[in-house]
Structure 1
């Protein structure tokens, strides 16, 4: 692995992060497990950053990819594409957005970039509301609306971005309020902010902040925001790149926890739908999606191969009720992790929904984030045979746990035990 690591550093950017002091090469996987080049087997609790949604090497998906690749791999959106139309029909119906239109991209970043293009064109404004501690991708425009400084390398921007309170429940000036008071305070902050500007195009928000450490507001916050936004004609973009497809267990989409006023105007998705294939996209009302007055295509978005993978993967997810599995197994896992965390002074909070769980670490006896501990626990978990992620708005001090949605109860217990060993060791 040393030779490959040296070659990596010689030709790839310094800012292209790698996990672990001695990075590993993952060579193959099956179910909820992967193997590295040295033959070590790991229980995968991160799924390629929430992307391997159903399972590694899922036969239904690999067969769909193989069969489609044997027919034709690429044609572009300039030609009719049966798998793309089929997947778009299913996603439009599942989105909850009336008269929905779907546009496919190759990533979540590109999906959010497209959503921003649509919103700013529709509203004829470059002003965007975003949440503090948010992350929406690595493109120039997506970085401009990212409220997490660790992932925003430039202050230059094509957009004017205004940041709103509410994405983080247990930190900040409103942390000690009740849920109802928290929502009231955040709405008042939004109202005040809009009193100092005009013609805002959209609010973009993750129902559960992913890179930010799996934080979320109380249910109903975005519904309360929506009442304010509607009065001003401002669009709501729900970034479902990490929360979509039933991962939170209780709902198929993250926005449904805030559904009193109906679906968002624009919904973005990616990651899990392709089960590892490069699929992203945007769903929007027809009048919003069709507002562009210039030509556009997507060379690689909607590729026949990736669309075939998406159709097969979505069918598997629905037929096997993986949303229900995320609710049941995720509920057991989070309670187990909370019991473990209660006995570990460095654990400030265990939070999450379904199979989207964060463990926030602090220096014992303080509220000070401890990113060094998070790094050490990441290493210790790998040595024990468990792969997890990390993130958070306070210097990556949150362990991120997001296994494939087909995780079994036995695997959840195994992973919790391995993580407990790592926590206690560090």
Structure 2
């Protein structure tokens, strides 16, 4: 493995993040477990950054891809009719709840958010965009502009004129102690103030994650985006919900994350889990917005026959097995267990989450300050214990986990046991 790591460092950029002091190579997987090159097995609670949504080596997905490969047609591009693309678009349009919806497919969430921002700025003839503090929307020029997390921003240049809103930052002194209703009222007041002071007329859109992924699974209280939408609608401002991580039933309480707020946005972006590892992303939007662009367009690889075969099979599996309900059950077991244990673990500053999207924030018990060092210790110890997790947050101190939606109750209990065991180990180290 040391030889492979040396080769990686020789030819890959040094900003390409690798987990663990001794990075692992995953060579096989089945169900919700993976195996590394040394033969070590892990229960996967990060799913390739929320991408292997229904686990590994799923027969329905594998067979759908094999059937498409057997035709000899791996690629045609969108200048020809693509049956699988049309079938998938019909399903997504129906599930979205957006009136007269149309769908455009891309290869990633970054591309999807770029496309949505193009649609919004073109429709409104404005480069002004609202986004949320602590957000992450991608690594391209435009999406970095609407990202509000310094660790992920390489420069301040942007094709957009962006203003950032409150909504997932209740830890700040001015909001601490407020009820949900009080916090929502404060955030809406700030939105109105931004529109009165920081922008000219014709703001294009608000883009927001219902649960912030890279931000450490922070989230606005239910109802905030509905309150925001009232103000947006009064100004004609469009609403883009970034569902790259929150879509397809992951939150358990809704099929798309924004539905937890009682909101139907003008557009939703999606990617990650839909292809269960195959590259697929896209935008579902009101038909008038999608049709509005005047220039000719296509997607060379977006919505290609292989990714469409995988995505159709994955979405059918999610619906046929009611994985949204399963995520609600297994997620509740884990989140309730973490919250019950938190008071006896001084290193745990917060437990939050919804469905199979949950996080533990680690802090220095003496000061209450965020502790990235403790998060790193957890990562190392959880790997040794046979669990793969992720991390994030503004300070890198948040353990974020999102297992495949196919997680069983037995696996949920097993994973919870590992997490609690590692937290107890790290907590004891600090105490000593």
Tell me how far apart the structure 2 counterparts of residues 363 and 95 of structure 1 sit (CA, whole Å): 42
Which 5+ residue runs of structure 1 have no aligned equivalent?
none
1:79 counterpart residue number: 80
Matched residue SS, 2:391: strand
2:250 counterpart residue number: 247
Deviation of 1:155 after TM superposition, in Å, equals: 0.6
1:314 counterpart residue number: 315
Deviation of 1:169 after TM superposition, in Å, equals: 3.5
Are residue 55 (structure 1) and residue 55 (structure 2) matched? yes
1:234 counterpart residue number: 237
Tell me how far apart the structure 2 counterparts of residues 191 and 348 of structure 1 sit (CA, whole Å): 32
Tell me how far apart the structure 1 counterparts of residues 176 and 240 of structure 2 sit (CA, whole Å): 25
Are residue 215 (structure 1) and residue 218 (structure 2) matched? yes
Deviation of 1:257 after TM superposition, in Å, equals: 1.2
1:299 counterpart residue number: 300
TM-score, length basis structure 1: 0.98
1:177 counterpart residue number: 178
Measured against aligned partners, the alpha-carbon deviations of 1:25-67 in whole angstroms (never above 9, x if no partner) come to 0011111100001100000000000001111111100111111
Matched residue SS, 1:121: helix
8 Å CA contact retained: 1:169, 1:216: no
2:407 counterpart residue number: 407
2:430 counterpart residue number: none
Tell me how far apart the structure 2 counterparts of residues 173 and 16 of structure 1 sit (CA, whole Å): 36
1:200 counterpart residue number: 203
Q: How does 1:27-426 map to 2 (within 5 A)?
A: 27-71=27-71, 72-196=73-197, 197-198=199-200, 199-259=202-262, 262-393=263-394, 395-426=395-426
RMSD over aligned CA atoms reads 0.9
2:429 counterpart residue number: none
Tell me how far apart the structure 2 counterparts of residues 172 and 415 of structure 1 sit (CA, whole Å): 34
TM-score, length basis structure 2: 0.97
Tell me how far apart the structure 2 counterparts of residues 303 and 175 of structure 1 sit (CA, whole Å): 48
Measured against aligned partners, the alpha-carbon deviations of 1:270-315 in whole angstroms (never above 9, x if no partner) come to 0111001001000000111111110111000000000010110100
8 Å CA contact retained: 1:208, 1:216: yes
Deviation of 1:365 after TM superposition, in Å, equals: 3.5
1:24 counterpart residue number: 24
8 Å CA contact retained: 1:238, 1:266: yes
Deviation of 1:172 after TM superposition, in Å, equals: 4.9
8 Å CA contact retained: 1:374, 1:399: yes
Tell me how far apart the structure 1 counterparts of residues 76 and 174 of structure 2 sit (CA, whole Å): 52
Tell me how far apart the structure 2 counterparts of residues 326 and 96 of structure 1 sit (CA, whole Å): 21
Matched residue SS, 2:211: coil
Deviation of 1:70 after TM superposition, in Å, equals: 1.5
Matched residue SS, 1:195: helix
